[in-house]
Amino acid sequence: MGRAIGFRRRERDRRRVSAPSVLPPSISKDFGATLVCGIRWRLGFGGLLSLARLAVLLCSGVLIEISSDSAVAPIGSFRLLLPFQMVLVLAIGDLHIPHRAPDLPAKFKSMLVPGKIQHILCTGNLCIKEVHDYLKSLCPDLHIARGEYDEDARYPENKTLTIGQFKLGLCHGHQIIPWGDLDSLAMLQRQLDVDILVTGHTHQFKAYKHEAGVVINPGSATGAYSSITYDVNPSFVLMDIDGLRVVVYVYELIDGEVKVDKIDFKKTANTQSAH
């Protein structure tokens, strides 16, 4: 059922939607998804890609139901339509517990459930073992770069790993001066020779695409005080890596409400790094 509706709609939506908009680019009015945290998303089936996006939501466990004006489809039936190999990567960091914040926001905690995420990239500054253990409980494949407040000396200054067809780099970022400077981060990206560079330190969410790839800063998951950024909102990033595409979902807690934003990147042949 979903497939039929989806494809018919695509033809119409394509003509209508031109500018890239928030969440997914092709929007149909009557399709919605309800998330665990109570947010309702409008979804459209702009072909397989949108279905893939939906699958991300399904796999991330934040979705309760999918509904249209005419029917409410059980999530199970959608799962049958989605044969994709989904890889979800959580990027999170600068928690500064308990130096600058008592704990992760409860809303984030309820969204982050064990077993849905395949890899965690943590930009550091956890700062205590309890937080490490918590992240480990979400997903055993945990990669951490050392922040300047981390006492655990086993965390490396930076780290690279390959997920699917992407090479990812991880670094806290206090070593890269000027802090948060994209040109300087791009240099680190060239040095590590990665497609996606994940850094922190500024406590400000950023996802920036440049000629050599993507630079992502998941911000501070606790919205911790920062001398660099004023009015920090708690945020983290979920990356869906699927073939040559990566869809970046940003979860930001603004005035007690979780706002979700989405950015889409595609790795093309000419930006592919020489392995």
Terminal Cα distance for the chain, rounded? 43
- CA 123 to CA 147: how far, in whole Å? 7
Cis amide leading into 37 (omega within 30)? no
Shorter beta-carbon distance to other proteins: residue 84 or 149? 149
Contact footprint for other proteins (CB under 8 A): 96-103, 128-130, 148-149, 174-175, 177-179, 181, 183-184, 186-187, 190-191, 193, 211-212, 224-225, 227-228, 230, 273-274
Asked whether the beta carbons of 250 and 261 are under 8 A apart, the reply is: yes
For the CB of residue 97, give the shortest distance to other proteins in the complex, in Å.
Answer: 7
Shorter beta-carbon distance to other proteins: residue 16 or 154? 154
For the CB of residue 51, give the shortest distance to other proteins in the complex, in Å.
Answer: 34
For the CB of residue 180, give the shortest distance to other proteins in the complex, in Å.
Answer: 10
For the CB of residue 241, give the shortest distance to other proteins in the complex, in Å.
Answer: 21
Shorter beta-carbon distance to other proteins: residue 53 or 201? 201
Shorter beta-carbon distance to other proteins: residue 33 or 221? 221
Buried b / exposed e over 163-183, threshold 16 CB at 10 Å, is bbebbbbbbbbbebeebbeee
| Residue 108 phi, psi dihedral angles, 5° rounding | -70, -40
